[in-house]
Structure 1
């Protein structure tokens, strides 16, 4: 059997390139240090009887071309034209249309969801995304290697390619969450090394990341359960186990998120308790110092009253006598506080 690997790239039309250059010139004058633009890329992989088409930031012409080639519904073509806000799953006569949003943190500080649109047919899989994906790039290299070496068999239909892709995406999320876990452990060590105040900001940043994870993954369970029903209808009951496995992968990610959230809550509570204790100790020390200074100040104030008879004042060494008197009062109060274990 002859194995063909097609790896094609389509770029913008000349008119669109001119618009891009004009946009870059304008951007240069607005921000002269950075001129960046992401060109759309269409990549097609073929292995045995299966086809995987991956579109990154596609143009309208590319979407229409793919729609004509694979007989896509006009509603799907409209959905592919721009990113959507929520995940969804739709079953059509010859394919399933699925939208999922995945969080990404480590290399994307803007915390923008990564949307991937999947069109799963029996012999083809189409993925559409508006941004780079290291996971999809990694899987595409594996796909090319398997096709080139004529090794490996993803399965009898394209649903198995989809299963492998989403499994790897969830696996990448577990790595992200493992990185968050390591950050929490580092924060834990620093909390008990006396850096409670600095860790308030660090805990807030990790909390923001975990909330971002929960928000991005909040609708995955409902969408995957709906996809399980649609997948059985289109791809057969033999694919049911893999559909259920995907849901299990999601539950593992969800459990990792909840575990990190619980760990974060415990660290935050501990950090707040240590901060409160340290602040209380500071307030107690300041209060005791004020209480020690009050009697001494009162005694000195009495000797400042302008009266006819003022004992001690005017005698030889009167300054040193008053100094020793005030020192004895302060030392006596300090000894008392130490005896009561208030200091």
Structure 2
């Protein structure tokens, strides 16, 4: 399915699980290289960026543990960024793209965007901000989960939290793996985009890079917190097990003494 949106002089073409016929029609209309168009037929496992004469092509993946609409917890977006045209291709329902599409429809009816935005590539930069906002929301949910784990650990539920800590750590490590290469691509977008699209584009990308760095820092700090929680949980669990072991040792000693006394009594009486 293809949807087209407009804002000022910009056009956004959003391809949602496009058919070969739909993708080929976009290729012909907007002068996309056949090799690039072929990449839009299916998802790509790793991020990438390519620079062409009239546009930039890049692939980014965004973690979506709670906001995914499929079994895949990493959502891919392919971007073809031209002077006045943005083409996106995706293979899942992505909340940020859906929301921006609705916003642009409303702004088009109200003729609002023409008065608010006076610089280029606003659709692309708004879209990237929306995607990173989605990642922030995912991290907020994870932080709430970490708070619940912390609370339960100190409510003497250490054993139950072992699995919870492992699961949320695995989720965060997946977030880190998926976003690790974003900075390299964003920096390349800023540098080359400035040459092609001008200083305003570079300034907008600088803001987006700062958003990404906040996400990166949040992921690392949460992983560190989970490491400390795991150590605390292990210490409390070990202390509880040692306490139980001591109790059983005392009981065993008492039973042994009673057994000896009973044996002696049997011999002499």
Q: TM-score, normalised by structure 2?
A: 0.95
- Which one of 87, 95, 105 corresponds to residue 55 of structure 2? 95
* C-alpha deviation, 1:111, in angstroms: 4.8
- Which one of 133, 137, 151 corresponds to residue 94 of structure 2? 133
Are 2:99 and 1:146 equivalent residues in the alignment? Answer: no
Conserved? CA contact 2:190–2:201, under 8 Å: no
Task: Tell me how far apart the structure 2 counterparts of residues 185 and 111 of structure 1 sit (CA, whole Å).
Answer: 26
Are 2:53 and 1:122 equivalent residues in the alignment? Answer: no
Equivalence for 2:160: 198
Q: Which aligned pairs between 1:14-93 and structure 2 lie closer than 5 A?
A: 41-93=1-53
Task: Tell me how far apart the structure 2 counterparts of residues 223 and 186 of structure 1 sit (CA, whole Å).
Answer: 35
Q: How many residues align?
A: 266
Are 2:249 and 1:249 equivalent residues in the alignment? Answer: no
Conserved? CA contact 1:50–1:124, under 8 Å: yes
Bigger helix share: 2
Task: Tell me how far apart the structure 2 counterparts of residues 263 and 91 of structure 1 sit (CA, whole Å).
Answer: 40
Task: Tell me how far apart the structure 2 counterparts of residues 107 and 300 of structure 1 sit (CA, whole Å).
Answer: 68
1:181-230 C-alpha deviation (Å, 9 max, x unpaired): 01110111111111111111111111111011111111111111111122
1:4-47 C-alpha deviation (Å, 9 max, x unpaired): xxxxxxxxxxxxxxxxxxxxxxxxxxxxxxxxxxxxx2101123
Are 2:124 and 1:162 equivalent residues in the alignment? Answer: yes
Gaps of 5+ in 1: 1-40, 314-343
Task: Tell me how far apart the structure 2 counterparts of residues 74 and 84 of structure 1 sit (CA, whole Å).
Answer: 16
Task: Tell me how far apart the structure 2 counterparts of residues 268 and 251 of structure 1 sit (CA, whole Å).
Answer: 26
Task: Tell me how far apart the structure 2 counterparts of residues 193 and 47 of structure 1 sit (CA, whole Å).
Answer: 54
Structure 1 runs (4+) deviating above 3 angstroms are 107-111, 153-156
1:69-98 C-alpha deviation (Å, 9 max, x unpaired): 000012211211211111111111111101
Q: TM-score, normalised by structure 1?
A: 0.75
1:143-165 C-alpha deviation (Å, 9 max, x unpaired): 111111111244443x2211110
Task: Tell me how far apart the structure 2 counterparts of residues 249 and 199 of structure 1 sit (CA, whole Å).
Answer: 32
Task: Tell me how far apart the structure 1 counterparts of residues 242 and 263 of structure 2 sit (CA, whole Å).
Answer: 31
Are 2:174 and 1:212 equivalent residues in the alignment? Answer: yes
Greater relative contact order: 1 or 2 (C-alpha under 8 angstroms, separation 6 or more)? 2
Task: Tell me how far apart the structure 2 counterparts of residues 195 and 134 of structure 1 sit (CA, whole Å).
Answer: 36
Gaps of 5+ in 2: none
- SS at 1:216 equivalent: helix
- SS at 1:52 equivalent: strand
Conserved? CA contact 1:87–1:98, under 8 Å: yes
How big is the alpha-carbon RMSD for the aligned residues of Structure 1 and Structure 2? 1.4
Residues 1:201 and 1:119: Cα distance change in structure 2 (over 3 Å) = same
Residues 1:92 and 1:62: Cα distance change in structure 2 (over 3 Å) = same
Q: Which aligned pairs between 1:279-318 and structure 2 lie closer than 5 A?
A: 279-305=241-267, 310=268, 313=269
